[in-house]
Amino acid sequence: MIIGSQGMLGSAVLRALPHAESLDKKDIDITKRNRVLQKISSFRPDIIINCAAYTQVDKAEKERELCYEVNCKGARHLAEAAKKVGAILIHISTDYVFDGNEKDGYNEDAKTNPINFYGRTKADGEKEITKILDTYYIIRTSWLFGKGGKNFVDTIKEKCLRDKNLAIVDDQKGSPTYTEDLASFIGEVCKNMNNYPFGIYHITNKGTCTWLTFAKEIKKMIKAKCAIKKITSAELQAPAKRPSHSILRNNKAKPLRSWKDALKAYLEESS
């Protein structure tokens, strides 16, 4: 069963697992405990894949209650429901559970230390799951792009093709991840669980870059002529602080293809 099946990642997971039951926010409000328990009990799935999340990092600094309800309490309610029906929970988390101080990146067992409210709610959601369940997969990922949702690639592409001058930060480093590739991994886990011990996984496309490098690669691939200027995070003055190095090191699973190859595939598929 896929929760959040109409979002950017959830819709990709549904394409990878087309026969799965799927629920979106009109079908299930994960912030309401009793409704979650009732709904999951009525379906009795073997696996619950939670792609539902509050992901607006800057807005989260103001909409704290809503962000916490979805990302922390929602995760707890789904874990409780999974335990009740004997289901396995696959929960999607984020690189923003880390502070960004480790320049070489973070292993799966690294201590979380979020520096913005969104990251805190995701870290707290992870803790709730691990307290309730033994049969879980927490899949941390980063810098998602793909069809069916607002993302960095589409924004840069649109602005570049309108010949807008762009200012992009060059002091945040991470790994872009194509939703179709992440969804394929999730599908693989569902079909071959014996190959994947329960626990935390770090799954991104291979390689790292800054947002500036990412933007320049998009510009190059779409053959745009827009000017892209380098700025710092301090100059951008976003409401939420971002980690400077949120690189997720994958020590448990076969690496996905490179982010450049994934980007090329997405641009070709969406053109």
3-state secondary structure at position 121: helix
Rounded Cα distance between 120 and 84, Å, is 27
Q: Which of 68, 96, 106, 118 is catalytic?
A: 118
Burial environment of residue 194 by CB neighbours within 10 A (0 to 12, 13 to 18, 19 or more):
exposed
Smallest CA-to-CA distance from 188 within 142, 110, 255 is with: 255
Give the containing element (helix H, strand E) for 118.
helix 117-132
Q: For residue 29, how far is the Cα from the chain centroid?
A: 19
Estimate the share of the chain in helix, then strand, then coil, as percent rounded to the nearest 5. 45, 15, 40
Q: For residue 189, how far is the Cα from the chain centroid?
A: 17
- DSSP type of residue 91: E
- Concatenate the DSSP letters of all residues of 22-45 into one string: EE-TTT--TT-HHHHHHHHHHH--
- DSSP type of residue 270: H
- CA 108-217-53 angle, 5° bins: 45
Q: Known catalytic residue: 118?
A: yes
Asked whether 187 and 13 are in contact (CB, 8 A), the reply is yes
Which active-site residues does the annotation give?
118
